[in-house]
Structure 1
Amino acid sequence: MDNSAAPGRQWTFLTNHARVLVQIARDPGIRVRDIATRCLLTERAVQRIIADLEAAEYLSHHREGRSNHYSVIDGKPLRHPADSGPTLAELLAVLLR
C-alpha cells in the first residue's frame, strides 16, 4: 500500500501558530519580519498569529525602544481537549531540542 500523501494535498505536523511560538521561544526579541522569513509566512500572517497567541494568553509582549520583546507564558495547558495534559512548556521543551 502506498502511504504517500495524495497529489496536490500537503500537510505538516505543526501549525503556523506552533512554528511562530517556537521562533519566539528561541529568540524573545525576534522581529516579525524574521519570524515570517523563517516560517515561510507573510508578516501580516505572523502579526495575526501573535495577536491570537496574546488573546489566548500564551504570549505577551512589551516594548523595548523600537522593538517588541515577547514572553511565552509556558505554564498554560494546550488548547485542544485531545491535547490535554502537557503544558506549553513541555511541548516547547521537545520542539526546542
Structure 2
Amino acid sequence: MSAATEPHNGWTFITNHARVLAAIAENQSARVRDIAAHCRLTERAVQKIISDLEQSGYLSHTREGRSNTYRIEEGKILRHPAEAGLTVASLLALLVQVDGHHEGMSRVGAAAEEA
C-alpha cells in the first residue's frame, strides 16, 4: 500500500474529492494505486472517495478484466449551494490540464464551454 507522501497541515483550495475526480478525468483507467500517488493520498482514502463519488452519482465504473474504467457524469450539478448550476465538467475544465496527451479531455473542456 502507498502512504501519503509529504503530509500537509492546514487548509488547501481543492478538496481531495476534486483531486481524485480530476485524476480520473486525466486517465479513466487509472489504478487506485496510481490515483493515490498522483493525489498524495493513501489507497484506502482514494477507495473511500471513489465510493462517495459513485454513491452520489458523479462517477461510475465498469470492470474490464482486473481493471476498472471510470465514467464521470459531466453534466451532474455540483453539490454545494454556492456552486448552484455549475457542472462537474466546468469544475474539471479548471482542474485538468488539457493537452494532446490526455484522451477524452477535449470532450470535458467542450462540455464545460457549452454549460
Cα distance, 1:20 vs structure 2: 0.2
| 1:8-87 alignment, distance < 5 Å | 10-87=10-87
Cα distance, 1:81 vs structure 2: 0.8
Pairing 1:94–2:103 present: no
Give the TM-score of the pair, scaled to structure 1: 0.88
Q: Which runs of 4+ in 1 moved over 4 A?
A: none
CA–CA separation in structure 2 for the residues paired with 1:84 and 1:54: 20
CA–CA separation in structure 2 for the residues paired with 1:47 and 1:13: 22
Cα distance, 1:96 vs structure 2: 1.4
Deviations 1:22-67, CA, capped at 9 Å, x for gaps? 0000000000000111111110000000000000000000011110
Rg (Cα) greater in structure: 1
Give the TM-score of the pair, scaled to structure 2: 0.75
CA–CA separation in structure 2 for the residues paired with 1:15 and 1:28: 19
Q: Aligned residue for 1:3?
A: none
Secondary structure of the 1:86 match is coil
Q: Which runs of 5+ in 1 are unaligned?
A: 1-8
